[in-house]
Structure 1
Amino acid sequence: MSSSKKQWNKKVTLKQYIISIVGAVVLAIVGTSLYKDYQLKANNEVWMSTIHTEKELAPLEEMYKLLLTRYVDSVDKQKLIDGALTGMAQSAGDPYTEYLSEDFAKSLTEDISGSFQGIGTEVTMEGQYIKVIAPLSDSPAERAGIQANDYILSVDGTSLTGMQLSEAVDLIRGEEGSTVTLTILRGQQQFDVELTRAKIPVETVKVEIKEEHPDIAHIRLTKFSEPTAKELIEALKKLENQGIQSIVLDVRNNPGGVLIGALQVANVFVPDGKPIMQSTDRTQKAPTIYYAEKALGTYKFKGNVVLLVDGGSASASEILAGALQSINIPLIGQKTFGKGTIQTIQPLQYSKGELKITMGRWLTATGEPINEKGIMPDIEVASDVPDAMFAINTEKTYEIDDIGPEVENIKTILKYLGYDVNQTNVFDEKTQESVRDFQQQHEIEVTGKVQAETAGALSTAVRERMIADDKQYQAAIDTLLNERNN
């Protein structure tokens, strides 16, 4: 591919622009395909014609035959083949390159077509461990307090250490209404979180206008899919008809999505002829540059914009961040995740499974690599929310003299809400008194014990407080007001 402007064919399929995968637990971080099917086929014919594999693969055939004929018990042929393909993909040393078995590939294709069932979080492999990239907006994971950079150690007591990502996802996912207990590692703290799986709608654009600033819209992009740009444009046109010309665009905890979605969203703000991103693959001597142009859409937003980012903003979110930063739209928040590789789904001719394979790397509009580095915001604002908080188990009762990390979490929540507690892991008399005060203020039976109703009310109070205390959002508002005044 040359460095000339990339012309986009609008007749594309979701499969052609799929990134990582959206599943019951969304799979590895967002990557995407820059390649159409015919390009993949042509490239494969060229590359594969230069590879002679008969001798190289002889050891695999030998082991396969020995296991089928000499192993003490009967062996499932398909499991042997799937295991070999899984191991081969893993041996590439890239957490985003993975063999997808037939059943898993089918379920992922179904998941990306609409809503899906699960806990709603995006994960990836980091060494031997499953790492959370971000919880999806308004998902069981977000409501339970799961955060970006948490590690999921086990599912219902089954360790995930060393497990393939797809295997871990199979354990975490499940039907709507079923429960699952995750063991989470956050920093040095390990704790269990029980979640009820739910149906997660694929709603990518959420608009809110707050009473204190009725002329500024808060637009949250939860991920990037093919309809995202259309939904965003419809929302922006409606806001313009209401006279609103200032927006806070928010991609915090947005793990990414399909490339075409990111390009089309960036095109709404980047003037035609300006670069959005660059890409490279193993065949290229110079990057391909992707420009804003009419092929990506004709609508342009002319008002004031700031973009909120954090450590859960990954891949497609970072493409948008890099594009907006290049045209001096301020980025506010914290450093982004740092996912600068590109994946596509490659059907396998001799297997019913598929290969999710890293086929390239992307750079920002200005040519900066961000993989494992992230993008620094123009205005850095940390979150004041304590890292140690997580959801309270509503199935248990916590009372005087109880000891443990769950009690310490309850006290962290009470302290965050403004109640006086001793920060230990003991449910002491001071904790009991603070619980009574909370119950009285929220019209709950005053028992001094934390049970289901009190636990739910505490969780709701925390979410409301986090929204009210969102310093990153407030910094975005201040920036827009300053731009307006200047």
Structure 2
Amino acid sequence: MHKRTIPLPIFLVGLFFTVVVTAVVVHFIETRASVQNQSVVRVTRSDLDEVQDLYDLISTNYVEEVSKKALVEGGLSGMTAVLDDEYSEFLTAEETKKIDESVSSNFGGIGTSINLKDRLPVIEGVPIKNSPAEKASLKAGDIILAVDGQSTENQTIDETANKIRGKKDTEVSLLIRRGEEEFSVDLKREVVPNETVMGEINSDNPTIGYVELTNFRETTALEFRNTIEDLRTQGATSFVVDIRQNSGNLLSEAERVASYFLSDGDTIAQFSARGEVVSTEKAGSKIDSGFKVIEPTVFLVDQETAFGSEVLAAAVKHKGFSLVGVNTFGKGTIQNVLPIGENNYLQLTVMNWLTPDGSSIDQTGVKPTIQADYPDYAKLPPISTSSNWRVGDNGEVIKNINVMLAALGYETSGDSFNEQTLDAVKDIQINNNMEATGVVDEPTAKNIQESIFQLVKENDTAYQSAVDMLKINKIS
């Protein structure tokens, strides 16, 4: 069995959190900016007279003391909110401190990013590969209701981040809301590495190299090149490139990796603003320094493959490479971070990116050439540790427990903790030298989730499909 970390490592409680404003890590080329800036509409001072009047009225007449700084920041935030663009936002000085952390160095936390939405912290972007957050199957859009029992409502990002961060190997408890469901997870803080590329030879097929790209940061393209060269020396004559769960932060690095697989002069992506194409990025030695991957290669994608990794996926698909998985995330816009005053910044959507043939993938994603998804049990949330679950309990948590137990070979179903559930839980406890109470307490929940995690690794149908394609040379 080929052992590696797959991109949807669900279930494992341990874990660790870093707060970064992921969407801030964006690619922006000055020449593209200058083209767009020619069409900027200048606003005269008279256009802003009413804004000034409102500021004066509130600051001089409001019944309570009001911070002038808060009024200004509120006005800036409100103006950005009118755009109705989830990626455009006003960032305070405190929030922008997170920018550099997201693209460089190692940092502490649980390995994911948060932003504020409706006065609550929300996980933004895909958790970092192999981080505690990813192993616990936390996902983009999860709302953090409480940290160690303390509500996060109306707190700043820094306040929530400081509660989540802590000494390595200590634990932090998060109360999460996902859709209509609420559950608790206990996470062990770790140091999240900044490594973005991992590679190894398939143990059953020594001529197939497996390369996983977890994100795109400053050194990703160089790491990728070094990994390919190392796998070649080990005997690899074909590759599986895994960009699942890759949120693709730094677009320039994604373009560089794409250029490795394209012929010089091939289009990587087009860039448009206000309905017109303003520039085109093409493959060539200026980007890839003459390094090329000419071996047969299959790419793995999923619903968390986003932004830069979608640029890569679209470019190689247009070239004729096979994509295996499910539709990608669908982020076809580019943001830039622009200074406002001395300390604040504006993250603003400034362009759209298009595939080599001029199509937009925004909201639709890149469609794989071969569909292959994870089993349903791989997508369940972790078992909530807010209670010790036992006979007589019912509801969504119990339904998920029964689905997990069924995946492990037990005859369980429904949303009730019944005799079949009890027998399955006792059997798991006995087989793992635990007291056979039949109660799903925290140690038992962790054991079930770890077993599911291993099962998912062993049933990575997308990866196996890619390997089979390479073995029988079904790729171009």
SS in 1 for 2:178: strand
Query: 2:400 aligned to 400, 406, 409, which one?
Result: 409
Counterpart CA distance in 1 for 2:71 and 2:295 is 58
Query: Is the Cα contact below 8 Å between 1:255 and 1:314 reproduced in 2?
Result: yes
Counterpart CA distance in 1 for 2:287 and 2:321 is 20
Query: Is the Cα contact below 8 Å between 1:95 and 1:125 reproduced in 2?
Result: no
Number of the residue aligned with 1:171: 160
C-alpha deviation, 1:254, in angstroms: 0.7
Q: 1:327-370, CA deviations, whole angstroms, 9 ceiling, x for partnerless residues?
A: 1110110001111111111122x241011111111001222111
Number of the residue aligned with 2:195: 203
Residue type of the partner of 2:302?
D
Counterpart CA distance in 1 for 2:444 and 2:82 is 49
Number of the residue aligned with 2:178: 185
Normalised TM-score (structure 2):
0.86
Query: Is the Cα contact below 8 Å between 2:183 and 2:386 reproduced in 1?
Result: no
Q: 1:93-151, CA deviations, whole angstroms, 9 ceiling, x for partnerless residues?
A: 21111111011112333443222333334578999995764333122222222346x54
Counterpart CA distance in 1 for 2:156 and 2:185 is 20
Query: 1:357 aligned to 342, 348, 355, which one?
Result: 348
Query: Is the Cα contact below 8 Å between 1:338 and 1:373 reproduced in 2?
Result: yes
Counterpart CA distance in 1 for 2:161 and 2:459 is 32
Change (3 A) 1:403 1:285: closer
Query: Is the Cα contact below 8 Å between 1:122 and 1:255 reproduced in 2?
Result: no
Q: In the alignment, does 2:92 pair up with 1:101?
A: yes
C-alpha deviation, 1:42, in angstroms: 9.1
Number of the residue aligned with 2:467: 477
SS in 1 for 2:99: helix
Change (3 A) 1:127 1:253: farther
C-alpha deviation, 1:421, in angstroms: 1.4
Change (3 A) 1:385 1:260: same
Q: Greater shift after overlay, 398-407 or 135-144?
A: 398-407
Query: Is the Cα contact below 8 Å between 1:388 and 1:412 reproduced in 2?
Result: no
Q: In the alignment, does 2:282 pair up with 1:291?
A: yes
Change (3 A) 1:450 1:180: closer
Residue type of the partner of 1:445?
E
Query: Is the Cα contact below 8 Å between 1:140 and 1:195 reproduced in 2?
Result: no
Query: 1:311 aligned to 278, 303, 325, which one?
Result: 303
Query: Is the Cα contact below 8 Å between 1:191 and 1:405 reproduced in 2?
Result: no
Q: 1:287-329, CA deviations, whole angstroms, 9 ceiling, x for partnerless residues?
A: 4221111111221112110001111001101100011101111
Number of the residue aligned with 1:430: 420
Number of the residue aligned with 2:358: 367
Query: 1:322 aligned to 314, 318, 326, which one?
Result: 314
SS in 2 for 1:69: helix
Query: 2:222 aligned to 206, 222, 230, which one?
Result: 230
Number of the residue aligned with 1:143: 135
Change (3 A) 1:456 1:247: same
SS in 1 for 2:97: helix
Query: Is the Cα contact below 8 Å between 1:95 and 1:124 reproduced in 2?
Result: no
The percent identity for this pair of structures is 30
Query: Is the Cα contact below 8 Å between 1:314 and 1:336 reproduced in 2?
Result: yes
Change (3 A) 1:340 1:39: closer
Residue type of the partner of 1:439?
Q
Query: 1:68 aligned to 59, 66, 69, which one?
Result: 59
Counterpart CA distance in 2 for 1:312 and 1:319 is 13
Normalised TM-score (structure 1):
0.84
Number of the residue aligned with 1:262: 254
Counterpart CA distance in 2 for 1:125 and 1:373 is 25
Query: 2:26 aligned to 23, 32, 56, which one?
Result: 32
Change (3 A) 1:482 1:309: same
Counterpart CA distance in 2 for 1:359 and 1:241 is 43
Number of the residue aligned with 1:16: none
Query: Is the Cα contact below 8 Å between 1:141 and 1:195 reproduced in 2?
Result: no
Q: 1:189-222, CA deviations, whole angstroms, 9 ceiling, x for partnerless residues?
A: 5122324254322221122334222322221111
Query: Is the Cα contact below 8 Å between 1:411 and 1:423 reproduced in 2?
Result: yes
Residue type of the partner of 2:280?
I
Counterpart CA distance in 2 for 1:386 and 1:132 is 23
Residue type of the partner of 1:296?
I
Q: 1:386-435, CA deviations, whole angstroms, 9 ceiling, x for partnerless residues?
A: 366222345743233333433332222111211121322x3222211101
Q: Greater shift after overlay, 383-392 or 136-145?
A: 383-392
Change (3 A) 1:436 1:180: closer
How well do the aligned residues superpose, as a CA RMSD in angstroms? Answer: 3.0
Q: 1:425-453, CA deviations, whole angstroms, 9 ceiling, x for partnerless residues?
A: x3222211101111223333333222232
Change (3 A) 1:168 1:232: same
Number of the residue aligned with 1:462: 452
Number of the residue aligned with 1:378: 369
Counterpart CA distance in 1 for 2:366 and 2:379 is 25
Query: Is the Cα contact below 8 Å between 1:307 and 1:321 reproduced in 2?
Result: yes
Q: Greater shift after overlay, 222-231 or 439-448?
A: 439-448
Change (3 A) 1:484 1:94: closer
Change (3 A) 1:327 1:169: farther
Query: Is the Cα contact below 8 Å between 1:29 and 1:122 reproduced in 2?
Result: no
Counterpart CA distance in 2 for 1:169 and 1:433 is 46
Change (3 A) 1:395 1:191: closer
Query: Is the Cα contact below 8 Å between 2:21 and 2:102 reproduced in 1?
Result: no
Change (3 A) 1:309 1:202: same
Number of the residue aligned with 2:237: 245
Residue type of the partner of 1:171?
T
Number of the residue aligned with 1:19: none
Number of the residue aligned with 1:10: none
Which residues of structure 2 form unaligned runs of 5+? 1-16
Residue type of the partner of 1:473?
Y
